[in-house]
Structure 1
Amino acid sequence: MAANGIDVNARANLDLVTVYEISKILSSSLDISKTLREALNVLAHHLDFRRGMIVLEEEDGETLTLHAAVGLTAVEWLGGRYHAGEGIIGRVFSSGSPIVVPDISNEPLFLNRTGSVDEPHTEPIGFVGVPIRGGNETIGVLSIDRVAGRSGGFGNDVRLLSMVANLVGQSVALRRVVSDEHERLLTQAKRVRKETRTRFKLDNVVGNSRSMQEVFSEVHQVAPSRATVLLRGESGTGKEVIARSIHELSTRKGGPFIKLNCAALSESLLESELFGHEKGSFTGATGDRKGRFELADGGTLFLDEIGDISPAFQTKLLRVLQEREFERVGGSKAIKVDVRLVCATNRNLEKMVAAGTFRADLYFRINVVSIFLPALRDRRDDIPALAKHFLDRFNRENGRQMELSPSGEDVILHCYWPGNVRELENCIERTATMAHHDAIEHSDFPCSANRCLTQVLHFMKKDDAVAPVLGHVETHPPTVGAGSSGSGGAAIASEEDSSVAVAAAAGTAEVAPSRQFGGDKPQGEKERLIWAMEQCGWVQAKAARLLNITPRQMGYALQKYNIEVRRF
């Protein structure tokens, strides 16, 4: 009994170690073929069986295919294919119960597709097959064959293989869930990409970047409704083009599309333009005249620069939007109109409301649906397509065959474009007009000769605006202090030292406040860097001299604070 007790305990310990090792293997990877093969290797080592197989069901639920095996040759592997109810393995799968065959050579149901019976042996070969379950369903079969006379009976083998089969079933089920979710996400991504290519497209609007595709999606969604739309973004981002697209995609596309720039007219003229006037209402009013609201009846009215209207006119506009009726200037008859309003602004209306310069009730009236148009520098993927669009239009209008060379495309890709799409259009047309050959090179752009008008526009001092300035931006260099490059200070080759140099240099720099930034010194190191770069037209060498540091220190500091260097 003692010997038998030791044998029982030894087998129990062996089974425990086997299950533990296999559980670690199965949880180590989602590569099901690899983990199943390694699990069978552990079983072969601990149980000393000749062959082991794991077959799993296919999608049809009737076919079983060999997924992992130990002790089979490549030719024998080809025979590992079964159907539900076919042979011993098929019956284990169909019944969901283990089957033990003490001697496979005497079992007529044993199909011998992998050649187990054909191998030379002097002792009977037994076979054990147990079902692999995934949840409440049988998804495969784990089987082994070994010499029947070794390691006692098959009861312990059935118990151990059943535990291993449960671990295998959980691993396979998890892998299938992950695989199904992966396939679902891939299908969804393909569907989204297809919708993006087919649905989210606007006529006369170039934009394949993600940010513009989001804009296109919002336009397609809001266009069929009657909601008032507020287009927001910097000047030159294409708000008028988007407004026209909203009109063309709406049910009002058969009606008129009327536009008005609110910043271009005084308050009195703006009232007359929007509401119209009666004959004799003011000097020069020789007849009745319809306003933009009347002209847009049944269609869309686009009010650009809505943030520039005066507080007094905001009250008048609010009443029209609330009542949907108005009187002409000098008239007393109420006129009702059916107009869809689309507004646009490059101003921060929230700050204006907080400051009391824009009525909160008008803000809520026009800001029903907001669509934000990204700046061109935030959608650089669209720059080559936009440039080609403008260049193709130039070629059609002028009978030319101009094209951008790689060096010319590199110029427009690295420009900061503060004027956005409008500036890009202007730059392409100007450069194409002045180029002497059909391929626009780097040297054809005005910025290559320091003649970029945009640079002058954005970095000109306010008190210099009275005189023409071209080609450079004057700065007032500070007095060189101790430790500057002018006094022989050593270059500092680390990010930490560069930040110290910026702070120290900014502290020693004596800059005329009224000429530089309105009397308020920038306090943080990053703000000082940006300020210095803006003062010097984003030329690093000039900005370094302004801060009394070396260009190398300037480069480290810009990299440390992740400041994008604007190019013109």
Structure 2
Amino acid sequence: MNADAGTSSADQELALQDLSCLYEITRNLAAATDLQEALDKVVSILAALKKMQNGTVTIVNPVTRELEIEVACGSTPAARKKGRYKLGEGITGRVVATGEPVIVPQIAEEPLFLNRTGMRTEEQKRKSSFICVPIKTAVESSADSQRMQTESLAIGALSIDRCYEKEFGLQSERDLRFLTIVSALIAQTVHRIQSVSREKEALHHENQQLRRELSAKNRIEEIIGNSSRMQEVFAMVHRVANSNATVLLRGESGTGKSMVAKALHQNSGRAKKPFVIVNCSALPETLLESELFGHEKGAFTGAVERKAGRFEQAQGGTLFLDEIGEISTAVQVKLLNVIQERTFQRLGGAELIKADIRLVAATNRDLEAAVREGKFREDLYYRLNVFPLYLPPLRERRTDILLLADYFLEQYSRENGKKIERISTSAIDLLIKYHWPGNVRELQNCMERAVLICDSSTVSSVHLPPTLQSAESVGSSGNGSPLSLASAVEHFERDLIIEALKQCNGNQTKAAERLDTSLRIINYKIHNYGIEPKKYKVK
């Protein structure tokens, strides 16, 4: 009677222990969003509450169809990496292949136990039992053309070690039932997290697709740029292109204001009409007025015949006034009248001519400061500033630098009859790090020069202007001081190896031959410099 009562009490204690452990596992899995973190907690709970050591979860890789260790209690990343099994290989592979659990009373006596991770010593194998259960998930399959049926598919395995005991049977059956319940909870969590991940990935792809479609819709063929700053510019161009609103292009010299002005014209309803450009800073005041409004014969000395001004030449189209901030006060007054009244007179003439034009102006000056200083009329400023459009400098759109460099490389290679195919890594680093005070125009000139002096198929750093190869561009030791000779040599060697790997499709042997050195030295330097040859293999 007392023995039965003691057994009953022990069973109740074990049942309560199981319930407590299952509660902790369920609570952690229910709140989990990261699969590896969730499984780590499961094996930790098994070790702490059930004294189940070396808890390991393996999952089938859907690409390779191999079993890979997702988590292993107390193991190193290197050990986990070794723990790969083919379906049917070893005990774990057999459990997943058959979908049936396996109990090994003593690990040392089981030849199928591979111990591939090396986590257990020979003594530990003699003192340990091993239990492995499949992790199954439900999948739908068609029994025939009319109906679907649900089948269970093993997607992985859960395994643990127990301290070996000669009378192992009763405890092992209890552990097997318990682990089967845990594996079912893991399967539900794997399914939930993978479903969420797939949904997130699908949303991410959909978002990318929408962005690409929007980018393609807003893209302006003549202007190179994929950066977010340029996407904003493209969107604003498309928004205002079909209106007659005056556009004021702001930005530093060389940012492409004239190209944007042309894009505004080409994307408008006036595209088939003239696009007329006036560089206001290139003409003195006396000539600028005549250029803008035209003149009658005899209006001034040298006016031997009537001349149509730019306003008249642009009838029905677009007039682009570049460097508008440079015009004199007298011209500002006449320009204001044309914008307000939409009519003008030729110099020396009395006829009012209707100005049916779309006006686009550009400046790199601070017009607000010029207004405060009295150098630019406030009323003209507000007439011009109907739709301001800011063009970012090249240093604020660094993701576009390589796109532009490749475009100019192809353009000038074609023009000069050269076959230059690419830009080296070291040259790309210089291009990206440089601050480009002259913006796109400076980059264009830089690439033209590089093409002219390049005598190989690759533009390297030596072909770039000396201004790009300053200490700031080339790099520093991290505290602002210049690179040491050893560091500079390392940088140079690293660039040479990367270039060789690129040209040899990631093949280290061919890269070594190309650099006239041994494979051993190449491998040593690849390891030292943290280079990944696989990155340079074109699939």
TM-score normalized with structure 2 length: 0.53
Q: SS where residue 358 of structure 1 aligns? A: coil
- Which sections of structure 1, spanning at least 5 residues, go unmatched? 49-71, 81-113, 117-131, 133-139, 141-149, 152-156, 456-536, 541-550, 559-568
Q: Which amino acid aligns with 2:403?
A: D
Q: Which has the larger radius of gyration?
A: 1
1:388 aligns to what? 409
Q: Is the 8 A contact 1:231 1:373 kept in 2?
A: no
1:336 to 345, 354, 379: 354
Can you list the C-alpha shifts for 1:121-144, whole angstroms capped at 9, x where unaligned? xxxxxxxxxxx9xxxxxxx9xxxx
Report the Cα distance in structure 2 between the residues aligned to 1:18 and 1:431, rounded to whole angstroms: 68
CA distance in 2: counterparts of 1:377 and 1:332, whole angstroms: 50
Shift of the 290–74 alpha-carbon distance from structure 1 to 2, 3 Å rule, reads: same
Q: Distance in 2 between matches of 1:554 and 1:164?
A: 53
Q: How does 1:100-499 map to 2 (within 5 A)?
A: 176-177=195-196, 179-193=198-212, 196=215, 200-203=219-222, 205-207=223-225, 211-367=229-385, 368-375=387-394, 379=398, 380-392=401-413, 394-395=415-416, 406=424, 413=431, 417-426=436-445
SS state of the match for residue 556, structure 1?
Answer: coil
Q: Following TM superposition, by how much is the alpha carbon of 1:322 offset from its aligned partner in structure 2, in angstroms?
A: 2.5
Q: Alpha-carbon deviations, 1:8-47, whole Å to 9, x = none?
A: 79856753442123212443443299749959x96xx98x
Contact 1:377 1:420 in 2 (8 A): no
Tell me which residue corresponds to 1:119.
none
8 Å contact kept, 2:426–2:460: yes
Taking only the aligned residue pairs, the percentage that are identical comes to 37
Question: Could you tell me which amino acid in structure 2 is paired with residue 359 of structure 1?
Answer: R
Asked whether the 8 Å contact 1:202–1:216 carries over to 2, the reply is no
Q: Distance in 2 between matches of 1:436 and 1:552?
A: 30
Distance 1:115 1:405 in 2: 58
The verdict on how the C-alpha distance between 1:554 and 1:179 changes in structure 2, with shifts beyond 3 A counting, is closer
CA offsets 1:467-523 (integer angstroms, 9 cap, x no match): xxxxxxxxxxxxxxxxxxxxxxxxxxxxxxxxxxxxxxxxxxxxxxxxxxxxxxxxx
Quote how far apart the aligned CAs of 1:300 are. 0.7
- In structure 2, give the amino acid aligned to 1:232: R
Q: Which residue of 2 aligns with 1:556?
A: 481
Query: Relative to structure 1, is the Cα distance of residues 315 and 79 closer, same or farther in structure 2, using a 3 angstrom cutoff?
Result: farther
Work out whether residues 298 and 338 of structure 1, in 8 Å CA contact, stay in contact via their aligned partners in 2. yes
Distance 1:17 1:294, change over 3 A: same
Between 266-275 and 414-423, report the one with greater CA deviation.
Answer: 414-423
CA contact (8 A) 2:409 2:420 kept: no
Q: Which of these residues, 13, 21, 24, is aligned with residue 25 of structure 2?
A: 21
* SS of structure 1 residue aligned to 2:205: helix
- Kept after mapping to 1: 8 A contact 2:292/2:311: yes
CA distance, structure 2, for counterparts of residue 554 and residue 34 of structure 1: 41
Compute the displacement of 1:178 (Å): 5.1
For residues 405-449 of structure 1, the C-alpha deviation after alignment (integer angstroms, 9 at most, x for no partner) is 85995697376543344344445556766x59687887777x56x
1:276: how far off? Answer: 2.0
How many equivalent residue pairs?
386
- TM-fit CA distance, 1:256: 0.2
Change in Cα spacing, 1:73 to 1:420, as seen in structure 2 (3 Å) is: closer
Distance of aligned partners of 1:390 and 1:420 in 2 relative to their CA distance in 1, 3 Å threshold: farther
CA contact 2:342–2:356 (8 Å) conserved in 1:
yes
Displacement of 1:342 in angstroms is: 1.4
Shift of 1:263: 1.1
Partner Cα separation in structure 1 for residue 275 and residue 455 of structure 2:
40
User: Structure 1 residue 189: deviation in Å?
Assistant: 1.3
In structure 2, the residue matched to 1:495 is none
- 1:217 deviates by 4.3
Q: Distance in 2 between matches of 1:33 and 1:404?
A: 44
Kindly indicate whether the alpha-carbon contact (under 8 Å) linking 1:235 and 1:346 is maintained by their aligned counterparts in 2. yes
The one-letter code of the counterpart of 1:344 is A
The Cα of 1:360 is off from its aligned counterpart by: 3.4
Say if 2:274 and 2:314, in contact at 8 Å, map to a contact too.
yes
User: What CA distance in whole angstroms lies between the structure 1 residues aligned with 2:442 and 2:249?
Assistant: 19
Alignment check: 8 A CA contact 1:237 1:376 kept: no
Query: In structure 2, do the counterparts of structure 1 residues 317 and 378 end up closer, same or farther at CA, with 3 Å as the change threshold?
Result: same
Q: 1:555 to 1:167 in 2, by over 3 A?
A: closer
Displacement after TM superposition at 1:308 (Å): 1.0
Alignment partners' CA distance in 1, 2:185 and 2:454: 78
Aligned in 2, Cα 1:373/1:339: closer, same or farther, shift over 3 Å? farther
Relative distance call for 1:383 and 1:263 in structure 2 (3 A) is same
Q: Distance in 2 between matches of 1:254 and 1:330?
A: 31
State the 1:377 CA deviation. 8.5
Q: How far apart in 2 are the matches of 1:557 and 1:429?
A: 29
The one-letter amino acid of 1:253's match is: A
Aligned to 2:332, the other structure's residue is in SS state helix
Cα drift, residue 173 of structure 1: 5.4
- Aligned CA distance change for structure 1 residues 443 and 24 (closer, same or farther; 3 Å): closer
- Letter matched to residue 358 of structure 1: F
Match of 2:88 in 1: none
Aligned-partner residue type, residue 409 of structure 2: K
Counterpart residue type for residue 18 of structure 1: L
Residue aligned with 1:20, SS: helix
SS of corresponding position for 2:278 = strand
Summarize the Cα distance change of 1:402–1:270 in structure 2 as closer, same or farther, 3 Å threshold.
same
Residue in structure 2 matched with residue 31 of structure 1 by the alignment:
35
SS at match of 1:237: coil
Q: Which amino acid aligns with 1:342?
A: V
**Conserved? CA contact 1:395–1:402, under 8 Å:** no
Q: Distance in 2 between matches of 1:305 and 1:355?
A: 18
Equivalent in the alignment of 2:164: none
- Deviation, structure 1 residue 292: 1.2
Q: d(CA) in 1 for partners of 2:363 and 2:225?
A: 21
Relative to structure 1, the CA distance from residue 30 to residue 422 in structure 2 (aligned partners, 3 Å threshold; closer, same or farther) is: closer
1:215 to partner: Cα distance: 3.7
Provide closer, same or farther for how the CA distance between residues 429 and 16 of structure 1 changes in structure 2, counting only shifts above 3 A.
closer
Q: Which runs of 5+ in 2 are unaligned?
A: 53-90, 103-137, 139-151, 153-169, 172-176, 484-539
Deviation at 1:370, TM superposition (A): 0.5
Q: Tell whether the 8 Å contact from 2:298 to 2:305 is kept in structure 1 after alignment.
A: yes
